[in-house]
Amino acid sequence: MPTGRFYMASALKVLVLICLSVQTVFAQSGFTKIRYNWKEAPVYLSVSGQINRFKSESNGPYPMYAGYEAGLFVDYALMQQYSFRGGFEYQMRGFSLNEFSEGTTNSGKSFRKTITGKTEFSYLQFSTLFDFGKQNPKNKLRFLAGPSAGLRLWTRQKFSYIYEIPSDSIRIEGKDDSGNDALDVVEINAVAGLFYSPHPRLDICLRGTYKLCGFSIAKENFISRTERNSMLSISIMYRFSNVGNLRFF
Please say whether the beta carbons of 131 and 144 come within 8 A: yes
- In 3D, which of 206, 157, 219, 244 has the Cα closest to residue 15? 206
Q: Where do the H-state alpha helices sit in the chain?
A: 3-28
- In 3D, which of 249, 207, 245 has the Cα closest to residue 67? 207
Q: Where do the H-state alpha helices sit in 61-133?
A: none
Please give the backbone phi and psi of residue 220, each rounded to the nearest 5 degrees, phi first. Answer: -60, -40
pTM beyond 0.85: no
Q: What is the pLDDT of residues 143-163, one digit of tens each?
A: 899 999 999 998 888 878 788
Please say whether the beta carbons of 150 and 110 come within 8 A: no
Residue 85 binned pLDDT confidence (cut-offs 50, 70, 90): very high
Residue 222 binned pLDDT confidence (cut-offs 50, 70, 90): low
Q: Which residues contact 82 (CB under 8 A, 6 or more apart)?
A: 130, 131, 134
